[in-house]
């Protein structure tokens, strides 16, 4: 049964320590070894680790998904699901294309500005461990397409090739798909092997091995973020429905035993109703064992004195998903400063964002919403500074530049300015 907490300070401190992304220790050392092996030995190491961890024999002849495999995947999905996929693609493209228009519109401002250029090659990681995630294909590939990336390479564990995952990749513009996952696939994308070309940016969620591998290769390649287990935080007042809250908490708990679900409310009555609803609804889930472990170990209900106190705590937690199930949710938005995504009102549940609304579901976790942003088309572009002064404009500031360069003892910097005005003498 989930705990109801009234004295939140000590409990909150312990939970924050528990959910901090651990990026060291024995796992990190193992990941470093795998990454270095793939960097030095390419396909040989890639195939070796895929056999060791996934129990799948891959080689140069079968590592890449073929056209016939994709065609077969289309035959295996039903039409209703396919149409739902198409709608999700439409909505996500609409959101990301509009986002890029705004980025480009503000790119150049008179004599100073930015030049926006897409990266050439993007790598996307699609998990395939505890479940299949075709939705993650859309959320990673579509922003890259909207940004104008020339080639998109996808990697996904070979053990489970979900037909809808392959169809999703084809529908939204992935160029090549490789049957490999884990830390070894991240290393292959970062450094390149005989079969997988090196990319410029790697995006997509994964387990701790994938996350640590992304951390290890960062610098040789760009990454979207360092993601941990999924999490949801719901702020609710007495107007909220307990059954809605319980279902929304369980929507995250079923992801992983380490997923976290929090409710913050100013109503003890609501807290008790939610506690009861969770116990009853857990029994009906196909993934009951996973969700139950998640709720018991990482789920909490905090009863606080006010909604503003709840928001203060939420900002401290910086959750991946924040739901505002309040009588007047929009009035509290100005007070929200840390969250991956905010779901406003009872008709905007978190799964809406997971699949269809448009904004990306690859979001910062484990408190990293304090400094990371959601994955978007901007993840796949570079901003190149532009400076374009006329001689008249340069003349106005030349003495200031010379003064500043002299203060740093950089004479040649000053000479670079002076020589342009020697003829004036």
DSSP calls for 135-192:
HHHHHHHHHHHHHT-SEEEEEE-TT---HHHHHHHHHTT--EEEE--HHHHHHHHHH-
Q: Is residue 196 part of a domain?
A: yes
Q: Is 277 noted as a catalytic residue in this protein?
A: no
pLDDT attached to residue 425: 67
User: For 226, what's the count of Cα atoms within 13 Å in the CB-facing half-sphere?
Assistant: 19
Question: pLDDT 10s per residue in the chain (425 long)?
Answer: 888 888 877 777 777 777 665 666 889 999 999 999 999 999 999 999 999 999 999 999 999 999 999 999 999 999 999 999 999 999 999 999 999 988 887 666 667 788 889 999 999 999 986 667 899 999 999 999 999 999 999 999 988 789 999 999 999 999 999 999 999 999 999 999 999 999 999 999 998 999 999 999 999 999 999 988 899 999 999 999 999 999 999 999 999 899 999 999 999 999 999 999 999 999 999 999 999 999 999 999 999 999 999 999 999 999 999 999 999 999 999 999 999 999 999 999 999 999 999 999 999 999 999 999 999 999 999 999 889 999 999 999 999 999 999 999 999 999 999 999 998 86
Tell me which of 223, 239, 268 is where a domain ends. 223
Q: Which two tokens stand for residue 390?
A: 């006329």
Instruction: Tell me the C-alpha distance between 290 and 276, whole Å.
Output: 19
Question: Looking at 121, 255, 321, 361, which residue is catalytic?
Answer: 321
Q: Per the structure, how many domains does the chain have?
A: 3
Same-domain check for residues 240 and 302: yes
In a domain, 186, yes or no: yes
Same domain, 153 and 38: yes
Give the pLDDT of residue 57. 94
On whether both 46 and 147 belong to a single domain, the answer is yes
Whether 11 and 32 map to the same domain: the answer is no
Are residues 195 and 339 located together in one domain of the fold?
Answer: no
Same domain flag for 244 and 156: no
Looking at the domain assignment, is residue 154 inside a domain?
Answer: yes
Catalytic residue among 216, 254, 320, 378: 320
> Are 349 and 399 within one domain?
no
Q: Is residue 207 located within the same domain as residue 95? A: yes
Q: Are residues 114 and 63 in the same domain?
A: yes
Sign for the CA dihedral angle at 103, 109, 113, 114 comes to positive
**What's the whole-model pTM score?**
0.92
214 and 334 in a single domain? The answer is no
Whole domain around residue 48: which residue ranges?
25-223
Within this chain, do residues 153 and 235 fall inside the same structural domain, yes or no? no
Residues 16 and 87 in one domain: no
Domain CATH number, residue 307: 3.40.50.1980
Amino acid 290: pLDDT:
95
Q: Which two tokens stand for residue 143?
A: 């922003």
- The verdict on whether 216 is a catalytic residue reads no
């Amino acid at each position: 049964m989930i705990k109801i907490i009234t004295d939140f300070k000590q409990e909150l401190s312990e939970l924050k320590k528990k959910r901090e992304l651990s990026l060291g220790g024995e796992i990190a050392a193992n990941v470093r070894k795998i990454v270095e092996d793939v960097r030095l030995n390419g396909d040989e190491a890639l195939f070796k680790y895929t056999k060791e961890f996934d129990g799948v024999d891959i080689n140069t002849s079968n590592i890449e998904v073929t056209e016939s495999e994709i065609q077969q995947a289309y035959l295996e999905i039903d039409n209703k699901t396919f149409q739902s996929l198409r709608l999700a693609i439409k909505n996500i493209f609409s959101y990301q294309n509009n986002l890029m228009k705004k980025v480009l519109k503000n790119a150049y401002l008179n004599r100073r500005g930015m030049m926006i250029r897409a990266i050439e090659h993007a790598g996307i990681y699609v998990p395939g461990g505890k479940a299949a995630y075709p939705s993650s294909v859309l959320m990673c590939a579509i922003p890259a397409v909207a940004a104008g990336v020339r080639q998109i390479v996808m990697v996904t564990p070979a053990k489970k090739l979900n037909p809808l995952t392959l169809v999703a990749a084809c529908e939204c513009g992935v160029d090549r798909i490789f049957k490999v996952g884990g830390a070894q696939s991240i290393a292959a994308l970062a450094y390149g092997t005989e079969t997988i070309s090196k990319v410029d940016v790697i995006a997509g969620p994964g387990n701790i091995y994938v996350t640590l591998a992304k951390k290890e290769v960062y610098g040789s390649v760009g990454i979207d973020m360092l993601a941990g287990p999924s999490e949801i935080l719901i702020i609710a007042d007495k107007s909220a429905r307990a059954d809605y809250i319980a279902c929304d908490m369980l929507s995250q708990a079923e992801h992983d035993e380490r997923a976290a679900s929090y409710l913050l409310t100013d109503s003890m009555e609501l807290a008790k109703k939610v506690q009861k609803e969770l116990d009853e609804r857990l029994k009906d889930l196909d993934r009951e064992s996973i969700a139950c472990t998640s709720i018991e170990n990482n789920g909490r209900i905090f009863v606080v004195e006010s909604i503003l106190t709840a928001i203060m705590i939420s900002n401290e937690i910086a959750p991946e998903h924040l739901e505002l199930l309040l009588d007047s949710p929009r009035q509290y938005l100005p007070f929200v400063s840390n969250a991956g995504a905010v779901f406003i009102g009872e008709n905007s549940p978190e799964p809406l964002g997971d699949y269809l609304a448009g904004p990306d579901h690859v979001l910062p976790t484990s408190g990293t919403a304090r400094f990371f942003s959601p994955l978007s088309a901007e993840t796949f572009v570079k901003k190149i500074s532009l400076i374009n002064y006329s001689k008249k404009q340069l003349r106005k500031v030349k003495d200031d530049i010379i003064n500043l360069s002299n203060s740093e003892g950089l004479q040649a910097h000053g000479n670079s300015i002076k020589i342009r005005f020697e003829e004036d003498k």
